[in-house]
Amino acid sequence: MYPSRFAYEAPTSIDEAIALLDAGGGEAKVLSGGQSLIPMLKLRFASPATIVDINNIPDLDYHRVDAEGNLHIGALCRHVDLEQSTTLGDTHPTLAAAAELVADPIVRSRGTFVGSVCHADPQGDWAATMVAQGGYIVAQGPNGRREIDIREFVLGPFVTALAYNEMAVEAVIPGAKGTPRGSYLKLERRVGDFATASVAVSLDMDGDVVRRAGCALAGVGGRTIDANDAISCLEGKTLTDDSIDQASDAVAAVAEPRTDHRGSDAYKRHIVQTFVKRILTNLARSEQKAA
């Protein structure tokens, strides 16, 4: 309940923050939403020497779609900002579906998208949506900015490719070239529970043909599972019972679930398959309605 002592800095610019991380020599930790870090401090699972609070850095709380349709999410954009967006469902439906399922409503008012991805929890919802859609994290360090593809960003549970003196300033998720479709399903026993299994599906449609399909899983392995290759069997096809079955089987096969008190590995794999099928079937139905 009571964190151990740490030094605290509240920089007002990104450069200042970077300098502090650099000086910290790996013992400094970025605090953004704090909804993952502070619980760890309280249980003393983390005891950094310095906390670098970035909440006072201006102009980081945005989310906007650029001229090419790419979504830019600033480091201080809160989950609730995405949940309450009236346009996200049109441009990035997979993220829109996930937005209301992250943690609980109160945590969502403080926690950040970028912070959540950087926390790299294998259960993390946002990382799964990014891996399914592609995209990158913009990291800034003493030597300037670099873009880290999301598939190279998460290295393992709670470990990312960020150097100790780098800060993630933005996440960029590409838009669809055609019509964006997608969804996110999560089996949780109650709001705020860790997922038994979650599935993010993102489709880029050319009429009723799948131009690009992306998929990622959370909660069914030691890290976010990249199922993009598995679901790519949908590409160039329409959504039919056969193509949907093929895709859901392929995705289920790449899950790496472990048996625990939420269920057996077979059960979790079955849920993955079920969710992929449900997402795709619902999308197919709404396609038909639209047509």
Partner 1 sequence: MALDELKIGGMGASRRRVEDNRFIRGKGKYIDDVVLPGMLHMEIVRSTIAHGRIKSIDTSAAWEVPGVRLVMTGETMAARNLAWMPTLSYDTQAVMATDKVRFQGQEVAAVIADDPYIAKDACSKIVVEYEQLPAIVNPEQAQDPEMPLIRDDKVNQTSNKVFDWEIGDKEATDRAFAEADVVSSLELHYPRSHPSPLEPCGSIADFDRSTGKLTVYMTTQAPHIIRAAVAMVAELPEHQIRIISPDLGGGFGNKVPVYPGYVISILASILTERPVKWIEDKTGNLISTGFGRDVYLKGEMALRKDGKILGMRMHTTSDHGAFFADAQPTKFKIGLMHSTFACYDLPAAHLTSEGYYTNKAPGGVAYRCSFRVTEAMFFQERMIHAAANDLGMDQAEFRRVNLVKDDMFPYRTAFGFLTDSGQYAKCLDLGLEAIGYSTFKQEQEEARKRGKLLGIGISTMTEPLGAGNSREYDIIGIKMFDSAELRVHMTGKAILRTGAKTQGQGHETTWAQIVAHELGIPADDIVVEEGDTDTAPFGMGTYASRSTPVAGAAVAMVSRKIRAKARKIAAHLLEVSEEDIEWELGRFYVRGNEERGVTIQDCALAAYSNVPDGLEPGLENNAYYDPPNLTWPFAAYICKVEVDPVTGVWDVLKFVAVDDCGVRINPMVVEGQIMGGLTEAYAMANMQYITFDEEGNCIGANYIDYLLPTAWETPGFELHEVVTPCPHHPIGAKGIGECATVGGPAAFVNAVMNAIEHTGVRNVDMPLMPNRIYEAVKTGNDISGMPPVKAG
Partner 2 sequence: MTSLYDEVQTPTEGVPTRRITVVVNGEKRTVDVEPRLLLAHLLRQGLQLTGTHVGCDTTSCGACTVLYDGRPVKSCTMLAVQADGHEVETVEGMASASELHPVQEGFKQEHGLQCGYCTPGMMLTSKALLERNPNPTEDEVRWALSGNLCRCTGYQNIVKSVLWAAEKMRAQQGEDA
Q: Which residues bind partner 1 (CB under 8 A)?
A: 1-5, 44, 104, 187, 189-194, 196, 259-264, 267, 270-271, 274
DSSP lists the bridge partners of residue 210 as 205
Report the half-sphere exposure of 61 (CA within 13 A, side-chain side): 14
Question: Which of partner 1, partner 2, none has residue 189 at its interface (CB below 5 to 8 Å by kind)?
Answer: partner 1
Which residue lies nearer to partner 2 by CB, 40 or 163? 40
Residue 257 CA to residue 154 CA, distance in Å, equals: 18
Which residue lies nearer to partner 2 by CB, 70 or 109? 109
Q: How far is the CB of 51 from partner 2 (least distance, A)?
A: 7
DSSP E strands: which ranges in the chain?
A: 7-9, 28-31, 50-53, 63-65, 71-74, 136-141, 144-149, 154-156, 159-160, 167-173, 179-187, 197-206, 209-218, 225-226
Which residue lies nearer to partner 1 by CB, 212 or 269? 269
Question: Which of partner 2, partner 1, none has residue 276 at its interface (CB below 5 to 8 Å by kind)?
Answer: none
The one-letter amino acid at 109: S
Q: How far is the CB of 148 from partner 1 (least distance, A)?
A: 30
Q: How far is the CB of 181 from partner 1 (least distance, A)?
A: 22
Question: Which of partner 2, partner 1, none has residue 274 at its interface (CB below 5 to 8 Å by kind)?
Answer: partner 1
Which residue lies nearer to partner 2 by CB, 79 or 268? 79
Residue 203 CA to residue 183 CA, distance in Å, equals: 9
Footprint of partner 2 on this chain (CB under 8 A)?
Answer: 1-8, 10, 31, 34-35, 38-39, 41-43, 51, 53, 55, 80, 100, 103-107, 109-110, 191-192
Question: Which of partner 1, partner 2, none has residue 263 at its interface (CB below 5 to 8 Å by kind)?
Answer: partner 1
Number of alpha helices (DSSP H) and beta strands (DSSP E) in the chain = 12, 14
The candidate with the shortest Cα–Cα distance to 210, out of 166, 172, 246, is 246
Q: Is the dihedral of CA 227, 231, 232, 235 positive or negative?
A: negative
Which residue lies nearer to partner 2 by CB, 38 or 233? 38
Q: Which 3 state secondary structure label does DSSP give 235?
A: coil
Question: Which of partner 2, partner 1, none has residue 106 at its interface (CB below 5 to 8 Å by kind)?
Answer: partner 2
| Contact call for residues 172 and 66 (beta carbons, < 8 A) | no
Question: Which of partner 2, partner 1, none has residue 80 at its interface (CB below 5 to 8 Å by kind)?
Answer: partner 2
Which residue lies nearer to partner 2 by CB, 116 or 228? 116
**Ramachandran region of residue 221, left (φ > 0), alpha (ψ -120 to 50) or beta?**
left
